[in-house]
Amino acid sequence: MTALTENYLDISIANQQLAVIQEGKVICTYPVSTAKNGAGEQMGSGCTPTGWHRIRAKIGDGKPMNSVFIGRRATGEIYSAELAQQFPERDWILSRILWLGGLEPHKNRYGKVDTSWRFIYIHGTPDHLLQGTPESHGCVRMKNADVIELFTKVSTQTRVYIH
């Protein structure tokens, strides 16, 4: 798949960075956090899947910054230090969700490597947890203001290249 003239998102695991590419040019970049277990496609691995994906769903439009999501549904809670103390084991999914679907059969689509059914997202996280290091359970974490801004720049079907 060539991406020289199309619009897409480029996620570098090595650089912990997401770039928005339009007509072959980087128009903006954001810091991210990918999986602490590294790159990989296997279900249950806790790894960030590589290769070509697309945004299959955008979730959270219009919700307040720091809105908490569980199972892709807003809980009505707004993340705070007090809420974090109350639920110390939660993997916080905040503000917006861009749900990814793999495009490469048997690499990141279908069977035990299917990105969609692994529920891999680009999503907000508590800003203080984004330290420029891989810390997620497979998803691509972003600062809340950044993921809200990105949400407005992309549509479903936007391609995403993770490497």
Q: 66, 52, 39: which is closest to 10 by C-alpha?
A: 52
Q: Is the pTM of this model over 0.85?
A: yes
Could you report the per-residue pLDDT of 18-74, keeping only the tens digit for each?
Answer: 999 999 999 999 999 999 999 999 999 999 999 999 999 999 999 999 999 999 999
Report the distance separating Cα 94 and Cα 128, nearest Å: 13
Domain boundaries defined on the chain: 33-157
Which two tokens mark 121?
């997202």
Answer whether CATH 3.20.20 is correct for domain 33-157: no
In this predicted structure, the answer to whether residue 115 has a pLDDT above a threshold of 50 is yes
pLDDT higher than 50, residue 3: no
Distance CA 93, CA 90 (A): 9
